[in-house]
Amino acid sequence: MDLATLKAQEEALIFDHFNEETALTLGMRLHAMGADAQLPIVISIRSQQRCLFHLSLFGAAATNDNWARRKSNTVFLFGKSSLRVQFELHERQDTMLVHGLNEQDYALHGGSFPITLRKSGLVGACTVSGLHQHKDHDLVVKALNAQLQV
């Protein structure tokens, strides 16, 4: 995984519309993928104002809910996937502290991806927590690819 790939994913995975029904469909798609593979994950789909879908699969830890919240906060602040933010800060030898951010509210770990509308920009974040951060990210991207038929 590299920065160019992460940017290309964000450019390709754009919605024409997104609402509560779309969130439910995406959340249930992730649920099926996780359940089929017996993954111990939390799935969270949020707008900036509220939770649209949240589910913990068997084996997920209580801390995964907080990881999902922190990862999605990172997406909302930067408008990029949490893994891309991590890569960009690492490339600049930068830290969250330089930006005045704390680890209680933000996480530089993969697994949260921006939900972007073609005409209006960032409207939400789709997050998975419970696996290695790259696997969290890949699972979200796989579900978004299937949802958008990319």
- Closest to 106 in 3D by CA, of 128, 137, 85, 135: 85
Read off the pLDDT band of 90 (50, 70, 90): confident
Whether the per-residue pLDDT at 94 is higher than 70: the answer is: yes
Query: Is residue 96 scored above 80 in pLDDT?
Result: no
- Is pLDDT above 90 for 100? no
Secondary-structure percent of the chain, ordered helix, strand, coil, rounded to 5 = 50, 20, 35
Tell me the backbone φ, ψ of residue 146, rounded to 5 degrees: -65, -40
> What is the pTM assigned to this prediction?
0.94
CA angle 76, 78, 82 (to 5 degrees): 80
What domains are defined for the chain?
3-148 (3.30.450.150)
Q: Which two tokens stand for residue 52?
A: 């649209």
- DSSP bridge partners of 51: 46
Q: Which residues pair with 125 in a beta bridge?
A: 46, 114
Q: What percent of the chain has pLDDT over 90?
A: 87
Q: pLDDT value at position 98? A: 66
- Residue 71 has a pLDDT of 97
Alpha carbon distance 80, 58 (integer Å): 29
What's the pLDDT tens digit per position in 105-119?
999 999 999 999 999
Structure tokens at 123: 């409207």
List, for residues 38-77, the tens digit of each pLDDT value: 999 999 999 999 999 999 999 999 999 999 999 999 999 9
